[in-house]
Amino acid sequence: MNKCDHIKARLLDLDVSLPIRDATLKQHLEQCTDCAAYHAEWVALQQQLDQLPEHDVSDDVFARTLAAVNKNQVAKPQRRLNPGWATGLAASFVLVAVAGLLYNNQLGEFQADFSQAPIDGVNQSVEREEAETQNSPLVTFSADAAPEASADGFYRQRNQPIEEPASMSEKTAALAKEEQLVGDRDQDEDSSAERIVITGSRISRQDVAADLVEEEVEMPAVAVAPPLMDELQADHNSMTTASDSVVERLTKNNAHPDNVSADKALRRKPNSEALLEQLEVSRAASESPFTDDDKLDSAHKEQQQIPAGPVVEPAKPQPRLLQELGYEVPAELDRMGRENRLSAAAHMTEGKQAASASAFKPGSRGEIDRVKQKKDVSKKQVSGAGLPAPTGPDGSQRGLHAQAADAWLEQRQNTSGLSFKQATGYWANTYLPGDPQMRWIQAQLLASGLQDLPQPMDHLQPFDTPQNAPLALYVSSDLAAVDPVSTNGTRMRLQVGIQASEHQGGHRTALNLAVVLDISPQTSESAVRALLAALLKHKQPGDQISVYHTGPSGQQGSLLLKPVDFRHGPVQLMLNQLFSEPTDALQLFWPLEQVLPAAGAWLQQHDNPKAVLGSSALWLITDKDQQALPAMEYWVQQQATNGISFNTLSLSNDDPGRQLQRLALVGQGHHHVLAGITDADRVVQAQLKAASRAVARALRLQIRLADGVELIDVLGSHALNELQARQVRAAEQSLDQRMAANHGIQADRGEDDEGIQIIIPNFFAGDTHVIMLDVLVKQPGTVADVKLKYKDLIQLRNAQISQQFNLERGSRTMGQLERNVLKNHLAHHFAEAFTHAASLIRAGHTEQAIQQLQQLHDVYRGLRQRITGWQSDDELQADERVIEQYLALLRQQAMTNDGSAVWLAQALQLAGWYKHPGHGP
């Protein structure tokens, strides 16, 4: 057996629920991909084994079995005594009894009583009958009783072997009769103690003792000798102990320290924070219609989306961010920021203090900002509007660029006056591909003929695409080593990159689709025709597409086309009829509240519960936000939990479709904006492929910073508050449960992890995502442990990737990886600057926006001069050109003031969103 075979055999013996502790095994798995793959497969198989469904017997069979058992009388425990032992016991018992009687000189009385003891005739005959049929094992030790005792009679001779009843039921009946007999005799006023003793011998002395105590039969002192009484009492005590064991043993066991602690733990549990949280989550989930992962999306969306459109108020930047970016901070804003930080510091929790016990920081949620020793940090003073272009100290543009770049780099490395956040709890997800608001802005620009406005390029990330897994994890930083000199620590950007495989789920699954056309007199016929034509073009065999409408009511109801009729000819005919209706007829339309449930019912009928999520979908094509839409939210959410996603497609050129977007989020679908007839093909393709593009779901990213590493910020993200965190947890668990039900992937969520936790609902094929942390590292060694858990949609299993990031002391040289992180940080700066410039323009401060972009441009130019390998970097040069173009446009707009500022603001916001390293196209 070679080493790998041996390792594989050992892997099979491991408990997969526990981490591998054997260092040799662990090391081998890290080095040998074959064994690692084998282990992963074994874990997947074990999980499937663990979740094999339990089979259950039918209630009918269960009831019949129970009835059959109850039919037989319950049998008393019957000890099978060795005949020899039985004889010996009986003999000794008799000897003791006789000795007792002799001692009291009452043997004669005893003999007289015994010989005269009447046996009730009726009872006797019944007993005999029973004995004949049941062959009951009764014992007598008096020769005087012999007349009635025979081998076949009620009594049998001593030493005669005890025969068992023929069957359990017979035995049970016999024993029951015996009990009855004993009971009768006990209640007989004439029955003497001696008889009780005798009958007791044929059942058990314990029973007799029990009867003595329980029935309180008076025992004449003369009947039983004191030693015998003591013995009986002792037996009774022991028997009482035995009989009480059912209750008492449990009580005693519960009284055991272990069980007491378990009991306490159980009692304590409801009061524990975790359970309270769960309860609150479930309560919140029951109260809110956003109970599923749409809640996750919506929570993140609400927090993450960059405000768009002219109606949106520009987001107020945080003072610290403004300072970092080199803005003048209004005194009031700065004061508010300081107050917030001090308030947060007052809520410092003990979690932080407990961190020293561990290499990594456990702890509680919540922000903790510690304002360190505040020093005067020189800040750039933003020049007023309309000032001439600044020059450097040497009067040259080159010097100015270098100065700007140095200032930016210095500000990145600044270690004084920092405030830190607690690196625990839930943080907002920044992976938001296909933001519909950005699509809407794009459509607006397109419709306004401004599609030629420059847009920046995405940076190409140096992440290898995984071949054997849907996701890969990369951790790096912008420094290759920790500063050996600095006493304040080394400030750096820690980058966590996620790269998805290009591998998709193959061809998309067959669709079960209902299209609802919300027709009004203003609806663009050409747009509807273009959409349905695109749908026809991309329809595959197996797709079932039906069309409903909210148009005039007719005999066929709201259903326009059945799946079998979704072909070119019938579709054209249907559209001709639909748009040739007189306008008046359109007033008598089927309301949306009726059409959507009708379409939903049809989908429900044809839904395959085992199909890929999203294969059953409802598309609402409309050109307006309707009043009825908010009322439909609950219904839409119910459909989504039943596996039918709700998608919206806006035909409007001037409406951001907020209600539609919200409905799509609630319905776990997508919201699209049709930006013209030519956009129909893209929209339909994007929608059709959405279900098959996801390679992983329910991603849980955990970043644990090592002791001595302080978190300054997670760029572009923020810590979620308690309510948001609850929503995220509830959504994750809901997703977890649904994946278990639909795909058989074992549910494994519900526990919070230590460190920063980010939940990403879906991850799509070919996508790249970057999360950047601004951290202060005080000592060399481990910086962070990063773990990514996810539901693998390709191999249908739970998967996990772990990475540890370490840094040693050394010089601050930069390799390619470090430059990549720096470039991503610069892209983040670009996105922030563009977004802020857009806000400034909307607020009417165009000159400040120009200044903002000019500064950004200087930083870019200076960095290209300063950093080796960046002089001719295509991506940075392209970014620079974009900034220059916008600067020219803004200066032109400032000169002419022709009202195009709002479009430039939109374009800047879109450009900023594109450039953000975390945002998808």
Interacting residues with another protein (CB under 8 A)? 9, 12-13, 38, 41-42, 44-45, 48-49, 52-58, 61-62, 64-66, 68-70, 72, 74-78, 168, 243, 245-246, 249-250, 253-254, 258-259, 261-262, 265-266, 269, 274, 362, 503-510, 540, 542, 611-612, 615, 751-752, 794-795
Token digits for 607? Answer: 């839904």
Q: How far is the CB of 272 from another protein (least distance, A)?
A: 10
C-alpha distances in Å from residue 121, one per residue of 118, 127, 444, 689, 734: 9, 10, 110, 93, 75
Nearer to another protein, 172 or 476 (CB): 172
Q: Identify the CA nearest to 774 among candidates 496, 498, 499, 497.
A: 496
Q: How far is the CB of 615 from another protein (least distance, A)?
A: 8
What's the Rg (C-alpha) of the chain?
42
DSSP 702-752: EEEEBTTEEEEEETT--B--HHHHHHHHHHHHHHHHHHHHHH-PPP---PP
Q: How far is the CB of 504 from another protein (least distance, A)?
A: 7
Token digits for 662? Answer: 């919200």
Nearer to another protein, 250 or 723 (CB): 250
Q: How far is the CB of 40 from another protein (least distance, A)?
A: 10
Whole-angstrom distance, CA of residue 729 vs CA of residue 752? 9
Nearer to another protein, 264 or 881 (CB): 264
Nearer to another protein, 274 or 631 (CB): 274
Nearer to another protein, 450 or 510 (CB): 510
Whole-angstrom distance, CA of residue 872 vs CA of residue 885? 19
8 burial (CB, 10 Å; 0-12 / 13-18 / 19+) is middle
- Strand pairing partners for 774? 493, 713
**Which letter does DSSP use for residue 374 in this model?**
-
Nearer to another protein, 503 or 891 (CB): 503
- Strand pairing partners for 427? 719, 758
Nearer to another protein, 24 or 253 (CB): 253
| Number of residues in the chain | 921
Q: How far is the CB of 517 from another protein (least distance, A)?
A: 27
Q: How far is the CB of 44 from another protein (least distance, A)?
A: 8
**Which letter does DSSP use for residue 470 in this model?**
S
Whole-angstrom distance, CA of residue 819 vs CA of residue 815? 6
**Which letter does DSSP use for residue 560 in this model?**
E
Nearer to another protein, 49 or 723 (CB): 49
Q: How far is the CB of 269 from another protein (least distance, A)?
A: 8
Q: How far is the CB of 8 from another protein (least distance, A)?
A: 8
Q: How far is the CB of 740 from another protein (least distance, A)?
A: 15
Phi, psi of 327 (to 5 degrees): -95, 160
Token digits for 183? Answer: 């009971």
Q: How far is the CB of 53 from another protein (least distance, A)?
A: 8
Nearer to another protein, 309 or 505 (CB): 505
Nearer to another protein, 335 or 606 (CB): 606
Whole-angstrom distance, CA of residue 140 vs CA of residue 283? 71
Q: Identify the CA nearest to 704 among candidates 761, 753, 772, 776.
A: 753
Element (H, E) at 322: helix 319-325
Q: Identify the CA nearest to 326 among candidates 388, 405, 418.
A: 405
Nearer to another protein, 685 or 795 (CB): 795
- Strand, helix or coil for residue 156: strand
Nearer to another protein, 132 or 502 (CB): 502
The residue assigned the tokens 């080593």 is 481
Nearer to another protein, 71 or 375 (CB): 71
306's CB contacts (< 8 A; 6+ apart) are: 315, 437, 438, 835, 909, 912, 913
Pairing assessment for the beta strands 709-714 and 768-777 based on DSSP bridges: antiparallel
Cβ atoms of 368 and 350 closer than 8 Å: no
Phi, psi of 644 (to 5 degrees): -110, 110
Cβ atoms of 197 and 222 closer than 8 Å: no
Q: How far is the CB of 847 from another protein (least distance, A)?
A: 53
Whole-angstrom distance, CA of residue 523 vs CA of residue 652? 9
Nearer to another protein, 12 or 234 (CB): 12
- Strand, helix or coil for residue 549: strand
Residues 282, 284, 290: CA angle, nearest 5 degrees: 100
Q: How far is the CB of 79 from another protein (least distance, A)?
A: 8
Q: How far is the CB of 177 from another protein (least distance, A)?
A: 15
Q: How far is the CB of 243 from another protein (least distance, A)?
A: 8
Q: How far is the CB of 468 from another protein (least distance, A)?
A: 10
Nearer to another protein, 69 or 485 (CB): 69
Nearer to another protein, 376 or 751 (CB): 751
Whole-angstrom distance, CA of residue 646 vs CA of residue 293? 13
Q: How far is the CB of 265 from another protein (least distance, A)?
A: 5
C-alpha distances in Å from residue 476, one per residue of 462, 495, 632, 804: 11, 5, 46, 10
122's CB contacts (< 8 A; 6+ apart) are: none
Q: How far is the CB of 777 from another protein (least distance, A)?
A: 24
Nearer to another protein, 139 or 612 (CB): 612
Number of H helices, E strands in the chain: 30, 15
C-alpha distances in Å from residue 297, one per residue of 287, 432, 489, 632, 661: 18, 9, 37, 19, 12
Q: How far is the CB of 611 from another protein (least distance, A)?
A: 7
- The two most distant CA atoms of the chain are separated, in Å, by 140
Task: Name the residue type at position 226.
Answer: P
Nearer to another protein, 153 or 362 (CB): 362
